[in-house]
């Protein structure tokens, strides 16, 4: 049987492993089932973006009831985006991001092939998603759309923000289609497709799996008081902010036609949302952000839209305390050296300086335990038939020599929240998308350099695993053979968890490992103080 010290050490290490398992579940969640054939939105060609939607609800978008005349389009553009408006539903057909290249060719395009136009209306007969609007351009950057007794005026600003008004007669409520978010890369996990909003101080989101389940049960309409509603993918978002609070939000999954560079067997999925505001009559004002999830731009919107970044709230113990600080530290380092790969390494060095005393204490404790291994072994042999007495004698030995048996796992336990927070930062900040470093082509993706028999070859996780083994080799041997065998599996576990993660995160952990090796090498050769 294992003594109490062994149990404590194993419990602490298992806690660290469970934390890593939690991280793995975050990174590699179960892929949600596709909507059934009856509920799916049929794929449509780019020339006809009207499609049937899923799980009808009071503000859901109905399918076209009659055949409509040919679609008319009108475009506005500035340095950052090209916005294409459509006469079908009187809204935004697509937004091309001129500063962000797609994977393969062209630019990232938001709301592409969506079932209905963003900013289309629901609940207003004659001017809803089925209506045909007239399009008129005023000046260089304004479009006026009219149908029935409704007039929409949308003005494009100098960056990613559009401002507008909707003038309408009395109606019980006015629903506005926020837009449709879809994956922009085949490796983008479905959990990044979300509908977001902020209900008072509480931020909420519904990812694709939740959206799909709720839509199947007709539970996809929620009564909320939110100033803004968003749909987003991993690095991009459409955020609709009204001049008053919403009364509800409805979300639904959609199946979209694949883009030319889409190689997966399954077609891409998307999340669409409709925000509803109080009716009455008059003028409804709004602004709509359509662009990358960049910290400064979202913060400038002024109503908490920064939550779309999903760094975690300050009440969120595993990310909120560290996420924002890590991001700001990385941006600050990027100003010193304008490369985010170098910035990640610099942040890692700063973190190592902060956590230096913790690892130093851990190394000292392991050195102390190594010294007293002979005494511990004698206690085990002497009281091998009396487990209770053996535990008592072990505790006396720890107390007498001031040994902490669980301190060996302390660095892992302390750094686990930072690791998860860094994952959240690197997974949501558009600043890292497409950034190269050394052989890494994109810090937001695995550093695949070749594919052998269909298996990606990622050098950075292999380098990280080698550093983990190296650190184990120079770490003082403590504990019994069971503990040592258990720790031998740690490099393999870390390799599995990290192999397909964003290379920016693996870069952080690899740099952290090499810094830990340097600290351990220095500490092991540091002379002991005279006693």
Q: How confident is the model at residue 381 (pLDDT cuts 50, 70, 90)?
A: confident
pLDDT of residue 285: 92
Q: Quote the DSSP letter at residue 233.
A: -
Checking if the pLDDT of 37 tops 50, the result is no
pLDDT at 20: 46
Percentage of the chain beyond pLDDT 70 is: 73
Question: In DSSP terms, which residues pair with 107 in a beta bridge?
Answer: 101
* pLDDT number for residue 240: 95
Q: Which of 94-98, 125-129, 316-320 has the lowest mean pLDDT?
A: 316-320
- Classified as helix, coil or strand, 531 is coil
**Where is pLDDT greater, at 195 or 375?**
195
pTM of the full predicted structure?
0.74
pLDDT value of residue 409:
62
- Condensed to tens digits (0 to 9), the pLDDT of residues 290-342 reads 999 988 898 899 888 888 887 765 445 445 567 777 888 888 888 888 888 99
Residue scoring higher pLDDT (157 or 43) = 157
Please check whether residue 237 is in contact with residue 179, taking contact to mean a CB–CB distance below 8 angstroms.
no
Most confident listed range (30-34, 201-205, 209-213): 209-213
SS3 assignment for 91-128: EEEEEEEEEEECCCCCEEEECCCCCCCECCEECCCCCC
Q: Is the pLDDT confidence value at 29 over 50? A: no
Give the pLDDT confidence score for residue 156 in this predicted structure.
94
**Is residue 83 over pLDDT 90?**
yes
- CB of 379 closer than 8 Å to CB of 390: yes
Domain map (residue ranges) of the chain? 73-310, 327-368+407-525
Look over the chain and give the mean of its residue pLDDT values, rounded to a whole number.
77
How much is the pLDDT for 27? Answer: 43
Structure tokens at 391: 């535990």
* Reported confidence tier of residue 7, pLDDT bands at 50, 70, 90: very low
Q: For 429-502, where are the alpha helices, taking DSSP H only? A: 459-474, 481-488, 490-498
Q: Which two tokens stand for residue 123?
A: 């609940």
Asked if residue 196 lies in contact with residue 37, where contact means CB atoms within 8 angstroms, the answer is: no
Task: Provide the phi-psi class of 110: left if phi over 0, else alpha when psi is between -120 and 50, else beta.
Answer: beta
Per-residue tokens: 248: 């509800």
Is 73-310 assigned to CATH 2.70.98.90?
yes
Quick one: pLDDT at residue 308?
Answer: 85
Decide the pairing of beta strands 226-232 and 121-122: unpaired
Q: Which helix (H) or strand (E) holds 179?
A: strand 161-182
3-state secondary structure 417-449: HHHHHHHHHHHHCHHHCCCCECCECCCCCCCCC
Summarize the confidence of residues 123-149 as an average pLDDT.
89
pLDDT tens for residues 447-504? 888 888 878 888 999 998 888 888 777 765 555 555 555 666 777 888 888 888 888 8
- Round to whole Å and give the CA distance between 230 and 179: 8
- Residue 499's region, left for phi above 0, alpha for psi from -120 to 50, else beta, is alpha
Task: Provide the sign of the torsion angle of the four alpha carbons 361, 362, 365, 366, taken in this order.
Answer: negative
Measured CA distances, 433 to 191, 236, 319, 502 (Å)? 18, 11, 21, 10
Determine the pLDDT at residue 382. 73
Q: Tell me the angle at which helices 410-428 and 4-27 cross, rounded to the nearest 10 degrees.
A: 0
Place of tokens 């149990």: 7
Using CB atoms within 10 Å of the CB of residue 493, give its burial: 0 to 12 exposed, 13 to 18 middle, 19+ buried: middle
Give CA–CA dist 314/165, Å, rounded. Answer: 35
| pLDDT digits 0-9 by tens, 402-453 | 666 655 566 666 667 777 777 778 777 787 888 888 999 888 888 888 888 8
Question: 464 is written with which tokens?
Answer: 């990280």
Kindly give, in sequence order, each residue whose CB lies less than 8 Å from that of residue 531, ignoring residues fewer than 6 positions away.
Answer: none
CA proximity to 258, closest of 180, 182, 178: 182
Q: Over 70: is that where the pLDDT of 184 sits?
A: yes
Paired with 238 in beta bridges are 231, 290
Structure token pair of residue 326? 């890590």
Q: What is the pLDDT of residues 252-279, one digit of tens each?
A: 999 888 776 667 777 888 999 999 988 7
The pLDDT assigned to 40 comes to 33
Provide CB contacts within 8 A for 113, sequence distance 6+: 43, 44, 46, 49, 182, 256, 257
Q: 177 by DSSP, 3-state: which? A: strand
pLDDT of residue 157 exceeding 70, the answer is: yes
Q: For residue 110, which of 249, 240, 296 has the smallest C-alpha distance?
A: 240
H/E element, 359:
helix 340-371
């Amino acid at each position: 049987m294992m003594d109490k010290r062994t149990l404590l050490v194993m419990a602490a290490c298992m806690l660290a492993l469970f934390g890593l398992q939690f991280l793995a579940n975050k990174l590699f969640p179960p892929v949600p089932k596709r909507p059934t054939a009856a509920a799916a939105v049929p794929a449509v060609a780019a020339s006809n973006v009207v499609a049937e939607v899923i799980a009808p609800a009071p503000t859901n978008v109905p399918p076209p009831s009659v055949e409509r005349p040919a679609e008319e389009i009108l475009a506005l553009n500035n340095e950052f985006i090209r916005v294409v408006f459509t006469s079908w539903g009187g809204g935004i057909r697509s937004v091309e991001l001129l500063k962000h290249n797609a994977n393969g060719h062209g630019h990232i395009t938001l709301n592409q092939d969506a079932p209905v136009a963003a900013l289309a209306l629901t609940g207003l007969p004659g001017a809803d998603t089925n209506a045909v609007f007239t399009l008129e351009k005023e000046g260089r950057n304004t479009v006026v759309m009219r149908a029935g007794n409704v007039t929409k005026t949308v003005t494009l600003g100098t960056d990613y923000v559009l401002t507008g008004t909707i003038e309408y007669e009395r109606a019980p409520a006015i629903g506005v289609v926020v837009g449709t978010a879809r994956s922009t890369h085949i490796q983008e996990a479905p959990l990044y497709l979300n509908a977001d909003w902020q209900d008072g101080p509480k931020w909420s989101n519904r990812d694709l799996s939740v959206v799909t389940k709720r839509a199947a049960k007709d539970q996809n309409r929620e009564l909320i008081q939110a100033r803004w509603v968003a749909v987003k993918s991993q690095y991009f978002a459409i955020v609709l902010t009204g001049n008053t609070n919403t009364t509800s939000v409805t979300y639904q999954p959609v199946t979209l036609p694949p883009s030319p560079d889409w190689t997966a067997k399954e077609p891409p999925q998307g999340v669409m949302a409709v925000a509803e505001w109080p009716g009455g009559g008059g003028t409804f004002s709004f602004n709509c952000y359509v662009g990358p999830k960049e910290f400064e731009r979202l913060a400038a919107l002024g109503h908490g839209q920064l939550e779309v970044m999903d760094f975690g709230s300050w009440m969120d113990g595993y990310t909120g305390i560290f996420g924002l600080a890590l991001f700001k530290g990385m941006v600050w380092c990027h100003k010193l050296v304008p490369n985010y790969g170098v910035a990640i390494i610099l942040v890692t060095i700063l973190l190592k300086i902060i956590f230096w005393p913790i690892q130093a204490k851990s190394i000292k404790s392991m050195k102390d335990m190594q010294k007293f291994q002979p005494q511990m072994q004698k206690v085990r042999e002497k009281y091998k038939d009396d487990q209770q007495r053996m535990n008592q004698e072990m505790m006396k030995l720890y107390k007498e020599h001031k040994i902490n048996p669980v301190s060996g796992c302390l660095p892992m336990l302390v750094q686990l929240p930072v690791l998860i927070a860094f994952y959240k930062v690197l997974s949501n900040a558009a600043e890292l998308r497409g950034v190269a470093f050394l052989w890494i082509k994109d810090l937001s993706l695995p550093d695949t350099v070749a594919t052998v028999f269909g298996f990606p070859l990622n050098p950075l996780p292999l380098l990280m695993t080698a550093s983990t083994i190296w650190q184990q080799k120079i770490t003082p041997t403590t504990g019994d053979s069971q503990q040592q065998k258990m720790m031998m599996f740690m490099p393999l576990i870390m390799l599995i968890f990290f192999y397909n993660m964003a290379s920016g995160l693996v870069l952080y952990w690899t740099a952290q490992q090499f810094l830990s090796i340097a600290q351990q090498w220095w500490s092991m050769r540091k002379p002991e103080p005279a006693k």
